[in-house]
Amino acid sequence: MTAKTPEFTPATLEAWHKAATKSAPGGDVSQLDWITPDGIRVKPLYTAADTQALPHADTLPGFEPFLRGPQATMYAVRPWTIRQYAGFSTAEESNAFYRKALAAGGQGVSVAFDLATHRGYDSDHPRVTGDVGKAGVAIDSVEDMKILFNEIPLDKVSVSMTMNGAVLPVLAGYVVAAEEQGVSQDQLSGTIQNDILKEFMVRNTYIYPPEPSMKIIGDIIEYTSTHMPKFNSISISGYHMQEAGANQALEMAFTLADGKEYVKTAIAKGMDVDDFAGRLSFFWAVGMNFYLEIAKMRAARLLWCRIMKGFNAKNPKSLMLRTHCQTSGWSLTEQDPYNNVVRTTIEAMAAVFGGTQSLHTNSLDEAIALPTEFSSRIARNTQLIIQEETHITHVIDPWAGSYMMESLTQEMVDKAWAIIEEVDAMGGMTKAVDSGWAKLKIEAAAAEKQARIDSGKDVIVGVNKYKLAKEDPVDILEVDNVKVRDGQIARLKAIKAQRDNAAVQAALQALTTAAESGQGNLLDLSIRAIRLRATVGEVSDALEQIFGRHRADTQKVTGVYAAAYDSAEGWDKLKGEIAQFAEQQGRRPRVMIAKLGQDGHDRGAKVVATAYADLGFDVDMGPLFQTPEECARQAIENDVHAVGVSTLAAGHKTLVPAIIAELKKQGAHDIIVFVGGVIPRQDYEFLYEAGVKGIYGPGTPIPASAKDVLEQIRKAVG
């Protein structure tokens, strides 16, 4: 006898409901529903009735709308590419890391550049003293690029480069390094991120304003589609949006809307959509929201197919969303850090179940410092174990037909599409970004999330629940920033002494002229300049003469943290203490939240500013990319009691002592300095000896830090 599929009649569902009420809180089954951060109601039970009306539940992988995967056979024939994102210190050290990783099972190179390079500064520029070689590899010229890829055959190994601001000289350096290795442009495979709209929203490693930045993107798409047919000209990135606080629906909607804008830009240059769309790729964050991450990736493929049909794309490759994924860095904890191995494994599984084409898995120590070789090996092996030991790869889209997953996928489709329509009504993503609306939506989501964690509503194991009584130290990788910078400056001097300076200046002038006239392809002209040994900084400066340098708005959201913080007693007590201070001193405690150096990751800074303001502090936000001198001057002019430095890029040992020294130099001995962010505990004593009054690492509840800052201010004012 063949077993029949059970039919969920009203009577059987009523029987389940009665059984469930016995254990449901207060006898109310609706209390078991889970409301996601995106506002989607997830039920505890799904049945066939939930999928009967879905339009795409019965489709095939490799065919429109690609819900179940962009390729027909997916991992059953070829697993995803293991592509570990790395870069630190010098080109020599990064090259050695890449070669070891490739020998140990890595299948592609993914380059992390330092912040000086991202922002188009050479290593000898005075604004980047604390940034060189710290959060990625320092690249000043094609000579650095040649070392970076030494003995890595660029005709065989695909290269992904996370670069947006200085995208022209960096991509040009890669092309010229390959040429001098004997590899022609048409042999190159890989991806350049080249996603500037996302930078204006969250990551902030931009150089030029939006309009000329979009011109650069168009030129790169145009050049690569002609000369580099195997190379992906843009990786449209949601990763940094989620890392900055966006929920899954916001991340997906804004990323797809960015992609739509880039397609419009290329078409406006006279290109046919099918000539370039097949080389566009995407980049998602994968966090701990397991079900939603899988649904997001399935929904995104469907929506991208819908969007590209709207541009009359006909080639199936133009309709097909292909993506790289990276496990969340934000979900990693400084406390009990070996838990991070588990978190990364769960996130990697979600990426695989969602159908990623390549994957980076973060290392357990990245909430503390740069990853060590030991932690990087565990991260890489996580993927190898999933590929080689679990047999997950043998089934294409294992979640297909799941009552819950198909329903949740459609919920994500509907939620994201509504946001995309809202963006379209504003005139597109460029206008949504220019207005500041998109950035504020993400910052509000970040503040709400942090409030749920700080109040214990959202559990983080080892941070706000099941905490260790004592934390053991973890070995970290530390970069000698001064040594790296000195080496880079020496190499820059040698290059400039040996090149034909007249030819270089002529090539740079050609770039400036093209930027002014709008004629000529800027990538083509950058390649010519880089061949002559122009530097990253020189190419960037040649364009900055015409385009200028973008300055971000520092507005902040208000009221969001307080509304989501679910621990009224402690909150109200602290608000009362702040009000009492104001009554005694004649003004409220005033703090300035600062970002020093070229670190543009401002999620922490914005969330802290929002929460402190909601508590009753007067809060000033310093502009991004300040020098210690500029920060001290603003703090004095604004008459603040304290400066809070937010750091995520390992420059704290250089920049924090510098701001303390500068405050003293300018006569402001009474302004206290506190620090928050990614700071190894091994560095705490150094910072305290430098004069820091409070250090608040990842996982510190914001009200706890605020209470401590208030106490320090009280001591300072007597």
Residue 140 annotated to the active site: no
Q: Is 240 a catalytic residue?
A: yes
Q: Which of 561, 499, 486, 566 is nearest to 534 (CA)?
A: 499
Region of 507 on the Ramachandran plot (φ > 0 left; ψ -120 to 50 alpha; else beta): alpha
**Cα(221)–Cα(419) distance, rounded to whole angstroms?**
27
Burial 590-621 (b: 16+ CB within 10 A, else e): bbbbbbbbbbbbbbbbbbbbbbbbbbbbbbbb
Residue 595 a catalytic site member = yes
| Cβ count within 10 A of residue 403 | 19
Alpha helices, DSSP H only, in 616-651? Answer: 628-637
Task: Give the number of other Cβ atoms within 10 Å of residue 9's Cβ.
Answer: 9
Q: Specify the DSSP class assigned to residue 199.
A: I
Selected catalytic residue, list 198, 601, 641, 652: 601
599 included as an active-site residue: yes
Q: 235: number of CA atoms within 13 Å, CB side?
A: 27
- Relative to beta strand 590-594, strand 618-621 is parallel
Contact between 477 and 372 (Cβ < 8 Å)? yes
The phi-psi region of residue 124 (left if phi > 0; otherwise alpha if psi is between -120 and 50; otherwise beta) is: alpha
How far is CA 557 from each of CA 390, 444, 616, rounded to the nearest angstrom? 45, 6, 14
Separation between Cα atoms, residue 553 and residue 438, nearest integer Å = 13
Residue 235 DSSP SS3: strand
CA distance 57 to 52: 8
User: Measuring CA to CA, how many Å separate 133 from each of 99, 128, 257, 402?
Assistant: 19, 10, 33, 47
The catalytically annotated residue of 118, 415, 595, 606 is 595
Q: 103 CB contacts (<8 Å, ≥6 apart)?
A: none
> Which residue among the candidates 38, 50, 75, 85 is catalytic per the annotation?
85
Helix (H, G, I), strand (E, B) or coil at 323: strand
- Kindly report the backbone phi and psi dihedral angles of residue 400, in degrees, each rounded to the nearest multiple of 5, phi listed first: -60, 135
Q: Write the DSSP string, 502-530.
A: HHHHHHHHHHHHHHHH--S-HHHHHHHHH
How many of the other CB atoms lie within 10 Å of CB of 282? 28
- Which of helix, strand or coil describes residue 153? coil
With a CB cutoff of 8 Å and minimum separation 6, the contacts of 525 are 507, 510, 511, 514
- CB 712, CB 642: distance < 8 Å: yes
Which of these is catalytic: 56, 118, 240, 556? 240
Question: End-to-end alpha-carbon separation of the chain, Å?
Answer: 86
Alpha-carbon distance of 239 to 252, in angstroms, equals 10
What does the DSSP assignment read for 364-376?
A: TTTTTSBPPHHHH
Helices 536-547 and 522-531 cross at an angle (nearest 10°) of 140
Spatial strand order of the sheet with 618-621 comes to 618-621, 590-594, 642-647, 672-677, 694-696
E strands in 44-170: 81-86, 108-111, 159-161
85 flagged as catalytic: yes
Question: Catalytic pick from 124, 541, 599, 614?
Answer: 599
State the Cα–Cα distance between residues 154 and 109, nearest whole angstrom: 10
Tokens standing for residue 63: 């065919």
At 275 the three-state DSSP class reads helix
Q: Which two tokens stand for residue 432?
A: 């949504």
Q: Which is the catalytic residue, given 239, 291, 561, 565?
A: 239
DSSP strand pairing (41-42 vs 34-35): antiparallel
> Known catalytic residue: 493?
no
* Active-site residue set: 85, 239-240, 595, 599, 601
